[in-house]
A and B are shown apart, each in its own frame.
Chain A
Amino acid sequence: EAGVTQFPSHSVIEKGQTVTLRCDPISGHDNLYWYRRVMGKEIKFLLHFVKESKQDESGMPNNRFLAERTGGTYSTLKVQPAELEDSGVYFCASSQDLDAEAFFGQGTRLTVV
């Protein structure tokens, strides 16, 4: 069974550009989470989808970030326009139930220059 897959693994963009990160959860997992780790600090929660609905988006830093999960399968996280402080590693995780084990992807390292 495939794990959580994230694309791309690395992205380098210029300030002001747009970047879209993608996460493919484990098949059948209704719950999908986005996390971010900035500059070697703690990993912080961004948001949580249950199927295609945003259950909790309290961690989204500002309106330059837009997450979608159309059809309740894969999810995208768009940053537009990107700023220098958006650099970091973006992790995606999925779980079958709210209290089931969450499985993490390897992350997307985003560098904004």
Chain B
Amino acid sequence: AQSVTQLGSHVSVSEGALVLLRCNYSSSVPPYLFWYVQYPNQGLQLLLKYTSAATLVKGINGFEAEFKKSETSFHLTKPSAHMSDAAEYFCAVTLYNFNKFYFGSGTKLNVKP
């Protein structure tokens, strides 16, 4: 079975501070892992994905995530938060890189000036 747990439904950081959004997964087969972002009044947008190549994955807007099999984690980070990063972020896992996603419950990121 596949599932994702996102710790922290709300995260607040100051502009310029490190962003760390946590994601732990459970998968019966080698996972494909994704981070999506939803800005207000917009659809989900792919930030980055892990498909069993490099364990450190770089995405758009300066975000990156590291796949750690031993910890079953795929945390999302960004060294310096920008006001425009305020959005809701979703971690997801799929089988065989197909688009039947199992999403986490989302983390709303607030960036304070």
Considering only CB atoms, which chain A residue lies closest to B41 in the complex?
A: A106
Q: Are A33 and B99 in contact (CB under 8 A)?
A: yes
CA distance A56 to B41 in the complex (A): 28
Digitize B20-57: 1 where CB-to-A-CB distance is under 8 Å, 0 elsewhere.
Answer: 00000000000000001000011111100000000000
Q: Is the CB of A31 within 8 A of B43?
A: no
Alpha-carbon distance A40/B6, docked complex (angstroms): 13
- Residue from A41, A43, A45, A103 with most neighbouring chain B CB atoms (10 Å): A43
Contacts A103-B43, A104-B45, A106-B41 supplied; 7 other A-B pairs, CB < 8 Å = A33-B99, A42-B106, A45-B102, A98-B98, A99-B96, A102-B46, A105-B43
Q: Which residues of B contact A (CB under 8 A)?
A: 4, 9, 36, 41-46, 90, 92, 96-106
Q: Name A's B-contacting residues (CB within 8 A).
A: 3-4, 31, 33, 35, 40-45, 48, 56, 91, 93, 95, 98-107
